[in-house]
Structure 1
Amino acid sequence: MNRYAKIFIFTLLFFCFGQKSQASTDRTFYLITCEPGDEIYTLFGHSALRYEDKQNNLDIVFNYGLFNFNTPNFLWKFVSGETDYLLGYSRFERFVDAYRRDKRAVYQDTLHLTSQEKDILFENLRVNLKKENRVYRYNYLRNNCSTKLEEQTSTALSNSIEWKHNGESPFTFRELLDQYMTYYSWDALGIYLALGAKCDQTATWKETQFLPEYLQSAFTHAHGPNGQKLTQGETYTALKKDINQTSNKTNPTYIFVILLVVAMILYAVRDRFYPMVSIFLKAFWLVNAIAGMILCFLCFVSVHPLTGYNLNILVLTPVTLVLVFLKSRGSKYVCFKDGILKLYILGLIIFGATTLIFGVQKVHIIVYILASTYAVLAYTEYRLNTASCRITK
């Protein structure tokens, strides 16, 4: 949106509609629900509020889903769970054009509000658009583009919305996320690795509203304080979907099965090709350690709500960095490495028992393949160390 368009809209927002006496009688709020996209930050869809005032020729979208990649230390803030999002606005046609280019459907539901409720909702959004108010700390479960809309709408209706469903839903948070990752196997793997046992807690129906499609469903089945439905009429398709989803890229399962086969080959040729096997082992342990450090950061430092208590750190762990270091020190510490390897193998056993037998955390099938791969590598390293110990003695 160019500078002059912004000035025009701000003029309408803050002057023409800032006073109730001048408010139009022909105005409508719509809940906008956008179809999930292909990028990881669009996988779960998007929500916004459309405000249409035909009398004053104003048709804009209030959007809580904006962020700036150029923010200082953006990557650090994102990983640590301290990302700031902001409320923005744009003309409705411009908003829809962005989804048209991405070939994503856009749906809208008319909100059934009284004139007073429209006044309150509009005024709250107008105040939130001020520079000192528009930025908020993003939380993908409790403070995102969908939950902010529920919050604003509930406030306008004096927190008296009657929801069809209350209490616990039949879904865990992981099951809710799974519904959107069928065609995105690499993204699913990354999300499964990052999210811990908290993700397997059952979500309440209110908590499911962090997903735009669940917010839309909740709105269409809810009633306002006057007993009337919160949404009016049928869902209107503002922009039709014109592309079929297909699985993206290569299925990672095949790649990790190949890695398991490579680990078995390394074990088989460990004595005959010791120098080559040693290089491969060092590379495997280094990758493990780097991934483990990322998971530990998410688990123990990040404030993301579902990354704690992550049993995947028993498979990908910074402890393997010790193996990389000791491997560079020659045969002097080979016997000490045995203790590290035994500790790591014990961790893999605990991982398998707690996830497979006791079901403490739901784990991606690829993580089990990865655990099997590193179990073979650890045993290979242990056998090589045992042989080295005999030689040094």
Structure 2
Amino acid sequence: MEGNEVLRRLLLTPLLALLAGLVQAQGPAQPPAAAAPRIGVLTMGPGEIFWERFGHDAIVVADPAQRGPISYNFGYFDLDEPGFVRRFAKGEMRYMLVALPLADDLAYYRDVGRGARLQWLDLDPAQARRLAAALATNARPENARYRYDYFTDNCTTRVRDALDRALDGQLRRQMQARSSGDSWRSETLRLASPAPWLWLGFDIALGPAADRPLTRWQQDFLPRRLADDLRDVRHPDGRPLVVAELELLPQRQAAEPAEQAQPLWPWLLSGTLAGLALLATGRRRPRTGATLASLLWLVCGTLGTVLALAWAATEHHALWANRNLLLFNPLCLLLLPGGWALLRGRLPSARFRAVLLAVAVLAGLACLPLWLQVLPQRNGHWIALLLPLHAACARLWARLPPGVTVKPAS
């Protein structure tokens, strides 16, 4: 036994010396690395105020080194900021990222009855730390503001893009080629439908750019769409990105409306009946017909002027090249003096009749892009409603109205 012990010591002594040298070369033992933060996406349901109709979201960072989870919310703006109204009108709105305790962020949504759902994400520790550090830097006052766009750079696309950067582009690669066929218009009108005036404004104002089919990546400008798509995202090894979901607040307000098909025939029937009624009224009661036509010209001319200014003088790209300008035509304002002459029983000028005919012809030309399918704009229902009315006005007054023999107005 003693010989074996001596042999064991002779073999172990050099090995122990070698290990001791390695430990001394590496220095003292390092403390364990801090636990990585946990990352989640918070999705809030729609509200009653018009800018709340689309829902909202934020990124939640639960860092063990902090006292509680932090909500990074990209949806703040300052109504008292100098020049806010001017920038809003020109499409140069500035939003900001605000970091606040999750409990404080949820308080408002709890008070107004908007639901909140949290999706915890499975990020690698390095990805989670990188995202948390980037958000903390972005939330500093000097970095927090950004130029807002309703469709391409809003509070949800900021969440989407931050996650995509943390995932080294995996999010975009998995969603860029997929499409549900929806567009900015269809999604906007679906969510605005509970407020008819809001639906009406969006449908008239949006141009052909809003009718292009969206990829899932583009469609994730909406909070609920992003939450739905995150459930389908996988890591390269097949692991799901979303590992748990929690309902933090129930949705007490109305939920998001489902998309409903918009048939053309009610618009065509309404436009045809209205045009026939205007023809009959204008022939039997010229002054009443002139009053109705003047109201039509006032509405169309005013809205058309707004659409033209939005194209010419703002950065609202989704409103540009709007073919509704052929229907809500600014030239209609030039018809109002002739309408006033008709109300007084006087014959409008030749210029009035030329403009009236031009308005009707331009309204008819609005049909041409629908047939050619060149950058299509879904405005067929507005054509069906307004073209018969413009045609009826031209039929009544583009030529000398019967029974009017008074000296022409200047």
Scaled by the length of structure 1, what TM-score is found? 0.80
Matched, 1:347 2:358: no
Deviates more, 1:382-391 or 1:361-370: 382-391
Residue 31 of structure 1, CA deviation: 0.3
Given that 1:163 and 1:223 are in contact with CA atoms closer than 8 Å, whether structure 2 keeps it comes out as: no
Residue 27 of structure 1, CA deviation: 3.5
Whole-angstrom distance in 1 between the partners of 2:395 and 2:123: 67
Structure 1, residues 188-217: CA drift from partner, whole Å, max 9, x if none?
221111111122212122211111112112
Given that 1:168 and 1:202 are in contact with CA atoms closer than 8 Å, whether structure 2 keeps it comes out as: no
Equivalent runs, 1:17-32 vs 2, <5 Å? 25=35, 27-32=37-42
Given that 2:61 and 2:71 are in contact with CA atoms closer than 8 Å, whether structure 1 keeps it comes out as: yes
Whole-angstrom distance in 1 between the partners of 2:400 and 2:114: 55
Q: Secondary structure at the match of 1:289?
A: helix
Residue 245 of structure 1, CA deviation: 5.4
Given that 1:33 and 1:48 are in contact with CA atoms closer than 8 Å, whether structure 2 keeps it comes out as: yes
Provide the residue aligned with 2:204 in structure 1: 193
Given that 2:181 and 2:214 are in contact with CA atoms closer than 8 Å, whether structure 1 keeps it comes out as: yes
After superposition, the Cα gap between the structure-2 partners of 1:320 and 1:217, relative to the gap in structure 1 and judged at 3 Å, is same
Find 2:105's aligned residue among 95, 100, 125. Answer: 95
In the alignment, structure 1 segments of 5+ residues that lack a partner are 1-20, 248-252
Percentage identity across paired residues of the two chains: 22
Find 2:305's aligned residue among 293, 313, 318. Answer: 293
Q: Secondary structure at the match of 2:282?
A: coil
Find 2:333's aligned residue among 314, 317, 321. Answer: 321
Q: Secondary structure at the match of 2:62?
A: strand
Whole-angstrom distance in 1 between the partners of 2:186 and 2:272: 28
After superposition, the Cα gap between the structure-2 partners of 1:194 and 1:125, relative to the gap in structure 1 and judged at 3 Å, is same
After superposition, the Cα gap between the structure-2 partners of 1:370 and 1:340, relative to the gap in structure 1 and judged at 3 Å, is same
Q: Secondary structure at the match of 2:143?
A: coil
Given that 1:74 and 1:83 are in contact with CA atoms closer than 8 Å, whether structure 2 keeps it comes out as: yes
Whole-angstrom distance in 1 between the partners of 2:350 and 2:398: 9
Q: What letter matches 2:164 in structure 1? A: S
After superposition, the Cα gap between the structure-2 partners of 1:42 and 1:263, relative to the gap in structure 1 and judged at 3 Å, is same
Deviates more, 1:266-275 or 1:134-143: 266-275
Scaled by the length of structure 2, what TM-score is found? 0.77
Find 1:217's aligned residue among 221, 224, 228. Answer: 228
Residue 316 of structure 1, CA deviation: 0.5
Residue 39 of structure 1, CA deviation: 2.7
Equivalent runs, 1:1-393 vs 2, <5 Å? 25=35, 27-53=37-63, 56-161=66-171, 163-173=173-183, 174-224=185-235, 227-233=238-244, 235-244=245-254, 265-270=277-282, 273-327=285-339, 334-355=349-370, 358=373, 360-363=376-379, 365=381, 368-382=384-398, 392=408
After superposition, the Cα gap between the structure-2 partners of 1:210 and 1:291, relative to the gap in structure 1 and judged at 3 Å, is same
Deviates more, 1:107-116 or 1:261-270: 261-270
Whole-angstrom distance in 2 between the partners of 1:246 and 1:166: 24
Whole-angstrom distance in 2 between the partners of 1:161 and 1:33: 17
Q: Secondary structure at the match of 1:132?
A: coil
Q: What letter matches 1:158 in structure 2? A: D
Whole-angstrom distance in 1 between the partners of 2:37 and 2:147: 31
Given that 2:207 and 2:321 are in contact with CA atoms closer than 8 Å, whether structure 1 keeps it comes out as: yes
Q: Secondary structure at the match of 2:60?
A: strand
Residue 33 of structure 1, CA deviation: 1.0
Whole-angstrom distance in 2 between the partners of 1:256 and 1:79: 33
Q: Secondary structure at the match of 2:186?
A: helix
Residue 133 of structure 1, CA deviation: 0.9
Given that 2:46 and 2:256 are in contact with CA atoms closer than 8 Å, whether structure 1 keeps it comes out as: no
Q: What letter matches 2:315 in structure 1? A: V
After superposition, the Cα gap between the structure-2 partners of 1:162 and 1:79, relative to the gap in structure 1 and judged at 3 Å, is closer
Provide the residue aligned with 1:16 in structure 2: none
Residue 134 of structure 1, CA deviation: 0.6
Q: What letter matches 1:361 in structure 2? A: Q
Q: Secondary structure at the match of 2:330?
A: coil
Whole-angstrom distance in 2 between the partners of 1:152 and 1:243: 29
Whole-angstrom distance in 2 between the partners of 1:23 and 1:273: 88
Given that 2:267 and 2:385 are in contact with CA atoms closer than 8 Å, whether structure 1 keeps it comes out as: no
In the alignment, structure 2 segments of 5+ residues that lack a partner are 1-30, 258-263
Whole-angstrom distance in 1 between the partners of 2:389 and 2:255: 32
Given that 1:293 and 1:317 are in contact with CA atoms closer than 8 Å, whether structure 2 keeps it comes out as: yes
Whole-angstrom distance in 1 between the partners of 2:306 and 2:340: 23
Q: How many corresponding residue pairs? A: 367
Q: What letter matches 1:315 in structure 2? A: L
After superposition, the Cα gap between the structure-2 partners of 1:246 and 1:204, relative to the gap in structure 1 and judged at 3 Å, is closer
Structure 1, residues 328-362: CA drift from partner, whole Å, max 9, x if none?
67868611111111111011111234337858321
Provide the residue aligned with 2:27 in structure 1: none
Given that 1:106 and 1:237 are in contact with CA atoms closer than 8 Å, whether structure 2 keeps it comes out as: yes
